[in-house]
Structure 1
């Protein structure tokens, strides 16, 4: 007997693999948890790189300056300085999931390290937000997918992400009463991605653990969305010859800066 009892059902989705289940959850609820497949050694290497890059960034720009502009808890575009973070952005499970949800030709819009500081009542990710902020519309399929990689375990104590299920289907921000009643906190093991439809409202929780909690956020979107940082300009044309990476990073489709450059791009395609 079917374990899910039902009647009057003429259409039903078939059972699938873990990515099919994640895609179904994202379409219906707006979020899912996906295992990256990284082992303990790779995870430890990413943590070491994260801490080293953050320390170098603070030394370069100064803690006071970063705090003044709201960047003290953020590590922008670490893939530009670390092959490990470039590999993380190209995680096969996440790229396969994006392919199922968005279709071919999506581009990495941004990669940012995020620290949820111990003991702070608020930080940069505390307010409810969408990862395409200031937008109030819905679409039949995702414009972008947010993949938050858990460098450390996400627990209720250390401020695991709060999500409003199915809020990607409604244009307006929900009422306070509904938020209090329906918001869910998503715990996840270290080495997993918390994946969201970019229009699902979410926020970081209060970290009461006594230790900073680290994560790396990625946003993969349709190619017409402007990248947070112009990766082709930041990385340089010769950054990689790998066709798949060139597509992912936007190097395969540079934005022409003049009519002459537009013509040159067209000529290369002929």
Structure 2
């Protein structure tokens, strides 16, 4: 936790086995082909969505298991809090020698202020090897504490690559300035990005509405998916018994 606080990131090695990574990478390749068929490659290129797969938990149970994984989720609770919710779950597939939408320096929680405590934390699952050749993510240590955007010269001089073996997880403060690396290898580099936020921050997609009754509202994953922080749709809905409110007490 101290490394995340001080430098803005840490790498947890070998969270997933080689077999689990193989199963996930195979599913990602299938889903990617399906989405290119559904939306069309030209359309995806136009909206800069080539290699981006969203809301994977709707596609396969294996992806929902990552959301509250026992080796990663406790870090989310210790940083963002026990009531943190999932902001997004996106796969990022980087093809050899292809430019992608995450290749510029950016913040995943792009705000013009710095909070005294983390409002958002990312967990980037390395489904393939992350190294200089495959294009490991570049991070600029300490920039999660900078209110003003530093110069390009500063970013280039201080950026380091967060390498990790297949199955590792890069956990970082979403205010940390970072960018995706260039894949100069002969293979595809796959990753799955989870972003968790304080529950009063809007999700990228309305998971409760999108997923419907697919998940148990009373379960832990139901809370993480945002089922406990749905704004009431009317005054009468707000004035129901407290235990029946869609935005439960104590969620922030």
- TM superposition score category, shorter chain reference: over 0.9
| Alpha-carbon offset, residue 38 of structure 1 | 2.2
Q: Deviations over 1:38-58 (max 9, x none)?
A: 222222111111111111111
Matches within 5 A, 1:218-257: 218-241=194-217, 243-257=219-233
Other structure's SS at 2:149 match: coil
1:137 to 113, 122, 140: 113
Matches within 5 A, 1:203-218: 203-218=179-194
| Alpha-carbon offset, residue 210 of structure 1 | 2.0
Aligned residues, how many? 246
- 2:15–2:169 CA contact under 8 A, matched in 1: no
Q: Deviations over 1:189-236 (max 9, x none)?
A: 111111110100000111111222110001011001100000001100
TM-score by length of 1: 0.86
Corresponding position of 2:52 = 74
Q: Deviations over 1:129-173 (max 9, x none)?
A: 10112x121111110101110010101011110001000011111
| Alpha-carbon offset, residue 181 of structure 1 | 1.8
**Unmatched runs of 5 consecutive residues or more in structure 1:** 1-22
Corresponding position of 1:3 = none
Matches within 5 A, 1:1-270: 23-35=1-13, 37-120=15-98, 122-133=99-110, 135-241=111-217, 243-264=219-240, 266=242, 268=244
Distance 1:37 1:159, change over 3 A: closer
- C-alpha separation in 2, matches of 1:34 and 1:249: 23
- C-alpha separation in 2, matches of 1:58 and 1:91: 29
Q: CA RMSD in A?
A: 1.7
- C-alpha separation in 2, matches of 1:65 and 1:181: 36
Work out which of the two has the higher radius of gyration on C-alpha atoms and give 1 or 2.
Answer: 1
- C-alpha separation in 1, matches of 2:140 and 2:122: 14
